Amino acid sequence: MSAPPRPSAYARLVLRIIDARTGEPVEAAPVRRGLTRVEARASGPGLTALRVLLVADLLVRALELGGTPVWAVLSGVPEAVELRAAAAALGVRPFEDGRDVGTGLGEAQVLHVVADGAGGPAPQGVLIGVAAADGTSPGLALSDPDRTDAPDPAVLRLALLARPRSEPLRLDSALLDRAEDTLGRWRRSVAAWAREPSRPIPADVRAGLREAWEDDLDVPGVLRVLERVEAAGPEVPEGARFETYAYADRLLGLELTRDLGREA
């Protein structure tokens, strides 16, 4: 009798996140798949606060992809109109006002996304640190429709995603230019690949994507997998490349399929 098949690496994956209190990884999703509260604790307007919301948005997306129900709230900013507008422009989904959260809704897990070095009492739950960000192209320009110098929101989102959240980020023209070139190339490629018959995502590629984002939300690792798929030879059909990018974009939120059906 042959041995029973071993479970795949994909089946064993569980989203783990580093708790800033202990430096140890913890499971972001509760074992019983109960409600998880993701609370973005922003200390005020600015690029660092916007980065905190973006990391929280990625965490929500990753949990939902794994089947975990999520309640997303924003706290720490008394008046967050500009910050919310800038976040919405970046594709960050809405957060509820966290000022009246209280004891919550009996959630099984609470994940707090905060800027490194933020003051105030430490909240109860898992603490997820985000390094500071600054630069010459402030993200809050996105909240002003009359600003002509604001970067394309998706370009800014990709530029922010390209650095690990634990590393301080300096947003400059070189970083934005690289993000703009990459995003434009990927969107054109995805539109071209979509013209070919669909093919399944290769098992090793799918596992690589999940291993990256389930390992402390390693989004730069996800981007590296996409770069490898882009550079792959004919062993990866174009229809499979399309499905890979569309699948990864459920986490990345870069609208990589935006140009489907447009004239070349």
Q: What is the pLDDT of residues 163-173, one digit of tens each?
A: 999 999 998 88
Q: What is the pLDDT of residue 135?
A: 78
Q: Using CA atoms, how far apart are residues 35 and 233, in angstroms rounded to an integer?
A: 42
The pLDDT confidence band at residue 258, using thresholds 50, 70 and 90, is very high
pLDDT at 93 over 80: yes
Cross-strand pairs, 171: 135
pLDDT band at 150 (very low <50, low <70, confident <90, very high): low
What CATH class is the domain 180-252?
A: mainly alpha
pLDDT on residue 57: 97
Query: By percentage, how much of the chain surpasses pLDDT 90?
Result: 56
Residues 6+ apart with CB under 8 A from 198: 239, 242, 243
pLDDT at 99: 63
- Compute φ and ψ for 30, nearest 5 degrees: -65, 155
CA pair distance 34, 13, nearest whole angstrom: 18
Domain with CATH 1.20.120 in the chain: 180-252
* DSSP-based three-state secondary structure for 222: helix
Entry pTM:
0.87
